[in-house]
């Protein structure tokens, strides 16, 4: 279990069946820090039955936003880009970036859309916030649909990856999603949830 130890206890919690209780963090110790992008911690956590796990690895990473932007004509603003984690080749991607310190996810989403594409949108819909890794943390993804997106400025992104802005129609976007051309999990979720919302609300 990645070096973790479960400490036995001699009592039972007596909790009511079918009521799920979250684990409790008793303490945390920083093991490694690599700038603002990655911190590794060891947590001591208490299970609902009273047992304690020592040394549960936990990743602290910045929260981030992804935005599926739709134009008034029903087209979608995406990127074709490289990404280190996907290895060779390219991936389609929605707009996205990290939430800065002291910044709300909503503000980060608007900033990223303008910085990366030069677009602004009149209607913003939150598609939810999702933990990247249910066991180890890894930050939270805040997903959005931006409707009525129009080009109002010049992109000013400082992204390191090679990027090419692409405007896709609905059929192209669906085919790309089904073909696995969005190669990061949060990106797939962003596209799928955006299309689901559009289908349900018109």
Question: Is the pTM value of this prediction over 0.75?
Answer: yes
Domain locations along the chain: 5-60, 64-201
Low-confidence ranges of the chain (pLDDT < 50): 1, 9-12
Nearest in space to 31 (alpha carbons), one of 8, 7, 55: 55
CA geometry: angle 176, 177, 178, nearest 5 deg: 95
Distance between CA 101 and CA 80 in Å, rounded?
Answer: 28
pLDDT of 19: 85
Q: Which residue has the tokens 């993804």?
A: 141
pLDDT of 11: 45
Distance between CA 68 and CA 75 in Å, rounded?
Answer: 10
pLDDT of 1: 47
CATH match of 64-201 with 3.90.79.10 = yes
pLDDT of 8: 53
């Amino acid at each position: 279990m990645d070096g973790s130890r479960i400490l036995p206890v001699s009592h039972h919690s007596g909790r009511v069946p079918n009521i799920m209780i979250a684990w409790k963090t008793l303490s945390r110790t920083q093991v490694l820090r690599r700038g603002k992008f990655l911190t590794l911690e060891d947590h001591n956590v208490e299970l609902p039955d009273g047992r304690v796990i020592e040394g549960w690895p936990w990743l602290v990473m910045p929260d981030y936003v992804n935005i599926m932007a739709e134009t008034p004509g029903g087209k979608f603003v995406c990127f074709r880009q490289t990404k280190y984690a996907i290895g060779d080749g390219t991936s389609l991607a929605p707009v996205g970036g990290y939430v800065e310190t002291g910044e709300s996810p909503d503000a980060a989403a608007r900033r990223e859309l303008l910085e990366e594409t030069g677009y602004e949108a009149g209607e913003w819909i939150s598609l939810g916030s999702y933990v990247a890794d249910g066991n180890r943390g890894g930050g939270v993804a805040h997903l959005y649909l931006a409707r009525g997106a129009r080009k109002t400025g010049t992109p000013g992104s400082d992204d390191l990856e090679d990027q090419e802005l692409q405007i896709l129609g609905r059929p192209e976007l669906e085919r790309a999603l089904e073909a696995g051309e969005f190669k990061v999990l949060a990106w797939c979720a962003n596209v799928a949830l955006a299309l689901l919302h559009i289908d349900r609300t018109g």
